[in-house]
Amino acid sequence: MSGLLQIERPAARRPEWLRIRLATGDSYRNYLELRTMVEELRLNTVCAEARCPNIHECWGEHRTATFMILGDICTRRCGFCSVTSGRPAAGADPEEPEHVARAVARLGLKHAVVTSVDRDDLPDAGAAHFARTIQAIHAQVPGCAVEVLTPDFKGAPKALDTVLAARPEVFSHNMETVPRLYREARPGSRYEGSLELLRASAERKRRGETGARIKTGIMVGLGETRGEISATMRDIREAGVEVFTVGQYLQPTPEHLPVARYVPPAEFDEIKTEGRALGFLHVEAGPLVRSSYHAHEHVPSAEF
């Protein structure tokens, strides 16, 4: 019997430290404005699709959003993710890169995060569409840093080179969890495959082929041990990753994987200290942290 099948009973009610703060006043008006704009431009955001707990803070206070390109149907079925799974009915929308860039310009963003569903149905897994989106944002908002949070591209030839050639300021791919839990949490993905993508991006940076900061993140509370977290962090750092994020897994619906444990804030502080000791340039760790939380602080120009 493997992984999550050995987890104890699901965790009890959410503790106090996971209480979500809703936007009010000007923040709420900003939130409504951004939501309206996203709808007008026919955009998807991971903030809404993945039910991010920080949506009111990011949209309302920081006026930042993580744009989700390549549609809203994912070709994989991860046990933790609320994005709809299935076979997309259409290819990439050719107008989407310009729509995202227009949204970034209207928001006046200095840092834009772009992610996607998995598109294993496309020959390049969506790499060229990522590149066009990066280029469109840079063209319309020259001073804006672009962070891409990509899938593993399922080994598509030259996919990583295609994305990095568009010169994103941050290249990110999430490991999501520890090796033992991949079968239940990330069916269709491989721990070593994701680690190799990060290793390859870091190697290209060492060769001077990209200036992008290399980033990844994991969730905790799925049933992993503290020792497994530390071992995964070491793997990630040895691969050359510079920025590491870690947050609490929250079950989006009863049909998704259960929460095995609510990790207390003090343990996140320990993880952050451990990460800095391993040599990460930046570690974002906390119960409500998600990969794009405070992403503007992770850019290469930031001081650590």
pLDDT single digits (tens) 156-185 = 889 999 999 999 999 999 999 999 999 999
pTM for this predicted structure: 0.84
What are 128-151's pLDDT values in tens digits? 999 999 999 999 999 889 999 999
Task: Please state the rounded mean pLDDT for residues 240-263.
Answer: 93
Q: Please give the torsion angle defined by the CA atoms of residues 254, 255, 260 and 265, in that order, rounded to the nearest 10 degrees.
A: -60
Asked, for residue 210, whether it belongs to a domain, the answer is yes
Q: Which helix (H) or strand (E) holds 277?
A: helix 265-278
Q: Is residue 204 part of a domain?
A: yes
Higher pLDDT, 64 or 215: 215
d(CA 165, CA 163): 5
In a domain? residue 10: no
**Domain presence at residue 15:** no
Q: Indicate the DSSP class of residue 59.
A: I
Q: Which two tokens stand for residue 59?
A: 């949209």
Count of domains for the chain: 1
The answer to whether 304 and 282 are in contact (CB under 8 A) is yes
Average pLDDT of the residues in 236-265: 94
Q: pLDDT > 70: what percent of the chain?
A: 75
3 lies in some domain: no
DSSP-assigned beta bridge partners for residue 145: 111
Instruction: Provide the phi-psi class of 119: left if phi over 0, else alpha when psi is between -120 and 50, else beta.
Output: beta
Given a cut of 60, is residue 16 above it in pLDDT? yes
Alpha-carbon distance of 186 to 39, in angstroms, equals 30
Q: Is the pLDDT of residue 303 over 80?
A: no
Edge-to-edge, what's the strand order for the sheet holding 213-220? 44-45, 66-69, 111-116, 145-149, 170-172, 213-220, 243-248, 282-285
Grouping H, G, I as helix, E, B as strand and the rest as coil, residue 141 is coil
pLDDT score for 2 = 38
Indicate the burial class of 176 (C-beta count within 10 angstroms; 0-12, 13-18, 19 or more): buried
Helix (H, G, I), strand (E, B) or coil at 29: helix
Q: Mean pLDDT throughout 37-42?
A: 64
Token pair in block for residue 108: 């006046």
Apex CA 215: angle with CA 80 and CA 207, to 5°?
Answer: 140
**193 located within any domain:** yes
Section 79-102 average pLDDT: 90
pLDDT attached to residue 20: 61
CATH of the domain at 243: 3.20.20.70
Structural domain that includes position 281? 22-298
Q: Is residue 14, in this structure, part of any structural domain at all?
A: no
Kindly state whether residue 5 falls inside one of the protein's structural domains.
Answer: no
Q: Angle of helix 191-206 relative to helix 226-238, nearest 10 degrees?
A: 30
3-state secondary structure of 114: strand
Other CB atoms closer than 10 Å to residue 298's CB: what's the count?
Answer: 27
Residue recorded with tokens 């799925």: 222
Residue with tokens 């990583």: 160
